[in-house]
Amino acid sequence: MNGVRTVAISALALGMLLEGCGRERKLSTTSEEAVHRYLDGVTLTDKFYYAEAKDAFQKSLAADSTFAMAWARLAALNANLENEPEALHDIARALRFAPKVTRREQLFIGMWNDRLHYDTKAAIAAADSLATLYPDEKEAYLFLGNLYEKNKEFDASIRSYQKAIVIDSTYAPAVMSLGYAYSAINEQEKAIVQMQRYIRLAPEAADPLASYADLLVRAGRYEEALVEYRKSLNLKPDYWYAIRQIGNVYAIMGRLNAAGEQFHRALHLLPASAQLEASGLAADAFLNFHRGKYQEAVNQYTDALRTDTTSFEAAFGMVYTLGKLHRFAEAERTVSAIEREFERRRLSGSVAMLGFYLMRSRLLAEEDSLPEALAACRQALEFSSPLTRGAVFQQMAKIHLRQSEFEPALDDCEEALQINPNAPETLLALTQIYREKGDLRMTREIGGRLLDLWNKADPDFVELGTLRHLLSTKHAV
């Protein structure tokens, strides 16, 4: 009896999807197999199970190669995987078949086409039209919220996510996004409430627990975060995101070898692409940077950029590493390449500029251009959120320390630690400030907190060596 009921409900749902409200078809395909596979893909995408989602969309297209919405969904998925060439190919196929689909579908395809071509204004206009013409289109508000966040319009993004939830109170992706948006403006209690709601909405899914763990990482509660990421893996042992994030926490703890294992395990669980290959090379370079193996890191970043010339991960890492080697002319050439890529992606007014100006500040500091490095930090602050400004104050503290300006450096550390009281780079800078001030008690106290965090760090973890040097000098003994 239950089986018959399931089939009946499935057929009814299919009919509603094909015809929609007011007899307008929501999905322009006559293939039931294509629709079923498509819906599987949407569900899997919402759970961030990207490999499985991609397989579902490809099976949908195998059933109907002219299914425009399946091509658009595949394009969006490849964009999330940072596979721009495939994403552009897929959206072009969607556009090819778009003249024969409904207005609703055309707007959905159009907003993603605009987004993939970095035309944010046009993408917002298309999403606004979709939401206006079809008030039940919750995904349009999710899309808008994401774009507003990238433009640092957090109030607008929060309102958009809330509108999506009003349409469907069980819409888990909007609840998750609302949690992250509250976190971005440092409303952590509100963020936790939403993430706990996300967990209740999808108790069988792996991502809600991993997303909650992300909030713990942002608060510096690393051991607690690892517990939640592992709970996520209990639900889905091959969940790539939780595995990758465990690697990030291990890196914070100085456990570089373990971090590398997690990074590569996560990458192997995603659909293969040149972009993911470049990400793997950049991850190895990042770890070698923190081992002090700068030339090896440069070689790996070079290979990554040969594999994917648009990789910000590799390009930013290259600048930091070349700065350590005092190869400033090469670093500046890489900065110029990053600027060109920023222009191509129309990122000049986005939150991405925070990372750009921080990168400029670090390079200028390596060149001993300290006033200019501070100026770059002030530019970075203009693009920061209440959550991300901690990284800027952390950098300012290091610059003020280099100038022997201890009180401003301490003020900067205090600002950074209000956001994350266990941020390792900030605590290391604070240890050095107190050592240079000759405050033995505070040097040992702050340094001791870092030793606890790094108690399982690899012996070649550079920051651990720096800390031990600070604690072993005559000022700190």
Listed residue (155, 220, 163) closest to 426, CA to CA: 220
| Residue 84 falls inside a structural domain | yes
**pLDDT attached to residue 474:** 54
| Residue 34 falls inside a structural domain | yes
| CATH number for 122 | 1.25.40.10
Distance, in Å, from the CA atom of 247 to the CA atom of 286, rounded to the nearest integer, reads: 12
| Residue 24 falls inside a structural domain | yes
Domain count, the chain: 1
| Residue 268 falls inside a structural domain | no
Q: Over the stretch 291-329, which tens digit does the pLDDT of each residue have?
A: 999 999 999 999 999 999 999 999 999 999 999 999 999
**pLDDT attached to residue 25:** 60
| Containing structural domain, residue 93 | 1-134
| Residue 307 falls inside a structural domain | no
- Using CA atoms, how far residue 399 sits from 4, 295, 393, in Å, is 70, 25, 10
Residues 63/92, Cβ–Cβ less than 8 Å:
no
| Residue 442 falls inside a structural domain | no
pLDDT under 70: residue ranges of the chain: 1-25, 473-477
Distance, in Å, from the CA atom of 192 to the CA atom of 198, rounded to the nearest integer, reads: 10
**Residue 455, both tokens:** 């108690």
Give the burial class of 269: count Cβ atoms within 10 A of its Cβ; 0-12 exposed, 13-18 middle, 19 or more buried.
Answer: middle
| Residue 383 falls inside a structural domain | no
| Residue 110 falls inside a structural domain | yes
